[in-house]
A and B are shown apart, each in its own frame.
Chain A
Amino acid sequence: MKTYDAIVIGSGHNGLTNAAFLAKAGLDVLCVEKNDYIGGASVSRNLHKDWIYSNCSYVCSLLRPEIFRSLELHRHGLQITPYGGSTTFLENGDYYGSYWDAEVSYRERARFSKHDADAYNRYSTDTMRQCRFIRDFLLRTPPDPTSFKPKDIRELILLGRKFMDMGEDRMYETIRFWTMSVAEYLDEYFETDVIKTALSGSGIIGTALGIHSPGTAYVLLHHYMGEVDGNAGAWGFARGGMGAVAKSIAGAFQGYGGELRTDAGVEKIVVKNGKVKGVALTSGEEIDARVVVSNMDVKRTFINCMDESDLDPEFYHRVKNFKSRGSSGKLNIALNGLPTFPALPKGSSLMFSDMHFIDSMERMERAYDDWKDGTWSKDPYVDMLIPTLVDPTMAPPGKHFMSCFVQYCPPQIEGRRWKDEEREAFGKTVIDQIAKHSPDFKSLIEHVEIRTPQDIEDQIGITEGNIFHGELTMDQLLFNRPVPGYAQYRAPVAGLYMCGSSTHPGGGVMAAPGANAAREILFDLNRHNTVPENFGDD
């Protein structure tokens, strides 16, 4: 029977990225995916007539340009189109918008507070400074602070030097920044509730924490450190939906001679004498490989797909305690036409922006309270976009696809599985909230896909449906991600590696974990490195 050089479990964008760089180095690589479609959370699905849904992730910004370029993803059909702005609808019938144009945005903020309009510059400078610090480490393997290997020491020195380079005051700022809440952070700059609210959303998206919870300021950064064509902080749409990202990487992978199998779920990672031997599929088939790489989250990898006896107890416990709480749901809606938002002026560019329907910090925190109580937010933070205003390929002409990301939504209701009527009620909550600001919205709805974290877990196997494969808090970042001592993509079993979003630098459609893991694997196999270095920015 054939033995592969490497098997990658899961065709999420990180699994595919990993597989692509391994295949590019000349390895014989097989990628196995349990579903009959690829992409994991970076996926386009045709679930209703001629509509295509980005039914998990919906916007693209974090995808490392170095990887895009190195895998020549444009040759495999990937096109990212930037979009602009954001809108927060106020309860009083007004709205607060932010625009592409800095001056127009300034005027809009000044409409609420001249103080805040001016404060924004310092806020964005300070935030960008933090982004620059962390961005340099996205395509690097975190150093092991306890190791004395020259490579680790070199990386630690680099980390230390970048940190020292900030200067004394900014070092203090940075340490505070990494642990403070997004609400506290925003309070340092702004006085207007709705401006703070609009900015705070990025601190809690995908996170089982509230705006007042420590650590949420960093999460904000995670949403700002992306870029589109060098425009830091910009977000874009993948033409054809987020599945285009996975599809293009798969194209690159297959172009390098890689083999992709769908409908091939892994039941167990097979270990023999402390060394990985291959995988056993749910169908009973066993496939051998010298290296196995898991794109699954760290809990699913070690707790669901391995024998406890193959793992050290301490490691096992750490994995068990890894925080990966589900907190986000999603509605994907097929619309018969474009809904109107009477608060917005006719022809406003804000129609193209991401829209939110919650206008105070108080409401943001209340939304979290519901999640803590084991139910969905009755007044949720929704991040809504209509990609078809930009992308002509996702719905028939004149029709639209609306993507609604919903924070907060629990993985279980009061500790048990969701009932169908609860899922419906969750969907209705979101639709009602939007309809308050768009009277014709409901009448345009043709089809809705409602996804709870439980559905996400059932379908793509992310534990609790946590969008980042584990929370992005300081205790789970850098050399602590996923667990201390195992941040360098190697599992405690020889030949077994991790490449999913549970590893550094975390979730989002970034492709960095997959690429970093490939670099380490190729190093161990003494192969030529195919993974690009970051572009850098002095």
Chain B
Amino acid sequence: MSVQQVDQGRLQSPFYPRYKALDRLDTWHTWKGYTSADALFDGELEYFAIRNSCAVFDLTPMTKYRITGPDSLDYIDRLVTRDMRKIAAGRVAYAVWCNDQGQVIDDGTIFHLRDGEYRLCSQERHLAWLTAAAIGFNVTIKEETADIAALAVQGPTSYSVMKNLGLKGIENMKPFGLMHFDFQGSEIMVSRTGFTGDLGYELWLEPGKALDLWDALFEAGKLHGITAMGTHALEQARIEAGYLAAYEEFLPADETIRTGRSRSPFELGLDWLVDFKKPNFNGRRALAEEKLNGSTWRLVKLDIEGNKPAHHSYVYAKPRKNKKEIGFITSAAWSPICKQNIALGSVRMPHGKVGDSVWVEVYYQREMHWSKVMAEAKVVDKPFWFPPRRGATPPGPY
């Protein structure tokens, strides 16, 4: 037997050579074992590419599972809280799945690739749990993270880039739609999805074709401001879109040690994803009970006065005297596009109703010295950034 050894350092995605060639800053981090760029030339400019032209992000490290077999629909419907029977082939669904206690294990997107064939894409790894939950179903669950290379192409000119790439019929694809195309003799799946809250697409294909796709894409986007981006830009856009991130807005329930540190879908503002009209699903009983008795936490989107990002801040009910701590900020950013000081946070019920004011204690540092302000924050309903182009079908050239 030859001497075995798993990779001891960071893995490289099939797109790595192109990223590396564009990299000026040399600042990388580990994302699920892969090396992933924080930013390539300027995080701010990369962010503005998302909002102004077209930015490309390598999402190969996303955990991916292929779910097939005669019971695949029943299995997935049983797995997640939303009604998957409504998700036809060629559609994508954002979903959460829970443990028996109705606590969120993870969120992710489920791609109904073809009749009865699904891809589940999540932030964390769940093969053991997905397998355990498959009891009684005739399905095959295959982890395919490394078998599928993926790129997000996001921003107002992304539709033009897709068209230039020669994807016929893409003009008819609605948000959360997916289609298969031929790309240089192999198949590429394109979905109208993303993590930026803007017009955008995600491209999925076999790793062997990854570099060819990259080159074709950048050729197609040459006149449309196509730009590669790192995680910094994406994270900024993610908060503006009001999307949740695991380990920020919630902890996977099966990885929380302390009692009460996990969250239910209701506590994450995902009531719309829980459907009691469908057949049994994991966590149903606990969630029905919670619906009846009320939740402990509420996720809030906050529009905070001033311009100092409220990283890691406490949230209070009142600004002074008996101010009462009611929660904390989970993600915060200054939004360059909205010129707003925005944040996501977790507060105790019944605080944080839409329209309520809460108070956020913001610490900030100027030339070594620390200061703090008590900033008023309005609880808002809608994502901070939701441009009409995001939903337009067909999208314009912008």
- Contact B33 A122, beta carbon cutoff 8 Å: no
Question: Cα distance A72–B255 when bound, in Å?
Answer: 36
- How far, in whole Å, are A281 and B7 apart by their CA atoms in the complex? 61
Q: Is A231 an interface residue (CB 8 A)?
A: no
Binding site for A on B (CB under 8 A): 1, 3-8, 10, 30, 32-33, 100-101, 125-129, 131, 143, 254-260
Q: Smallest CB–CB gap between A67 and chain B, Å? A: 24
| Interface 1/0 per residue, A165-190 and B, CB below 8 Å | 11101100000000000000000010
Chain A to chain B: the 4 pairs with minimum beta-carbon distance, closest first: A119-B128, A93-B1, A107-B6, A103-B33
Interface pair A114/B127, CB less than 8 Å apart: yes
Q: Decide yes or no: A165 and B259 within 8 Å by CB, A118-B128, A125-B254, A189-B128 being known contacts.
A: yes
Known interface pairs A106-B33, A125-B256; A118-B7 also in contact (CB < 8 Å): no
What would 26 A/B residue contacts be, using CB atoms closer than 8 Å? A94-B4, A95-B4, A99-B8, A104-B7, A104-B8, A106-B33, A107-B7, A110-B6, A111-B4, A114-B143, A115-B131, A118-B126, A119-B128, A121-B255, A122-B128, A125-B255, A125-B256, A125-B257, A132-B258, A165-B259, A166-B259, A169-B100, A344-B3, A345-B4, A345-B5, A538-B258
Q: Are A122 and B129 in contact, CB atoms less than 8 angstroms apart?
A: yes
Please give the number of chain A residues whose Cβ is less than 8 angstroms from any Cβ of chain B in the complex. 38
* Interface of B: prevailing SS: loop
B143 touches A128 (CB 8 A): no
B165 to chain A, nearest CB (A): 33
- A321 near B: Cβ within 8 Å? no
CB neighbours (8 Å) of A118 from chain B are: 125-129
Residues of chain A contacted by B101 (CB below 8 angstroms) = 167, 169
Find the B residue at minimum CB distance from A121: B255
Contacts of A343 in B (CB 8 A): 1, 3-4
Chain B residue nearest to A129 in the complex (CB): B257
Could you tell me if B255 and A122 are in contact, using CB atoms closer than 8 angstroms? yes
Closest Cβ–Cβ distance, residue A43 to chain B (whole Å): 35
Q: Contact partner of A117 among B1, B125, B260, CB < 8 A?
A: B125
A45 to B5, CA, bound (A): 37
Q: Which of B100, B257, B259 contacts A128 (CB 8 A)?
A: B257
Docked Cα-Cα span, A343 to B30, in Å, equals: 29
Given contacts A95-B4, A107-B33, A342-B3, contact A115 B257 (CB under 8 A): no
Residue numbers in B under 8 Å from A344 (CB-CB)? 3
Residues of chain B with a CB closer than 8 A to A348's CB: 5
What residue in chain A is nearest B131 (Cβ atoms)? A115
Do residues A132 and B257 form an inter-chain contact, with CB atoms below 8 A?
Answer: yes
Say whether A92 faces chain B, with CB atoms less than 8 Å apart. Answer: yes
With a cutoff of 8 Å between Cβ atoms, the chain A residues found around residue B257 in the complex are 125, 128-129, 132
Task: Please give the distance in Å from A170's CB to the nearest CB on chain B.
Answer: 7
Kindly identify which residue among A92, A108, A128, A170 contacts B6, using a CB–CB cutoff of 8 Å.
A108
Q: Which residues of B are found within 8 Å of A117, using beta-carbon distances?
A: 125, 127
CB interface residues, A 515-538, toward B, < 8 Å: 538
Residues of A within 8 Å of B260, CB to CB, are 167
Residues of the A chain whose Cβ atoms lie less than 8 Å from the Cβ of B6: 104, 107-108, 110-111
Q: How far is the CB of A327 from chain B (nearest CB, A)?
A: 32
What separation, in Å, do the CA atoms of A108 and B5 have in the docked complex?
Answer: 8
Q: A166: shortest Cβ distance to chain B, in Å? A: 6
Residue of A nearest to B6 (CB): A107
What residues of A have a CB within 8 angstroms of the CB of B256 in the complex? 125
Min C-beta distance of A355 to chain B, whole Å: 16
Closest B residue, CB atoms, query A104 = B8
Q: How far is the CB of A384 from chain B (nearest CB, A)?
A: 20
Q: Does A116 contact B (CB under 8 A)?
A: yes
**Alpha-carbon gap, A167 to B261, bound state (A):** 12
**Residues of the B chain whose Cβ atoms lie less than 8 Å from the Cβ of A121:** 125, 254-255
A167 and B3 within 8 A (CB): no
**Within the assembled complex, what's the spacing in Å between the Cα atoms of A114 and B32?**
14
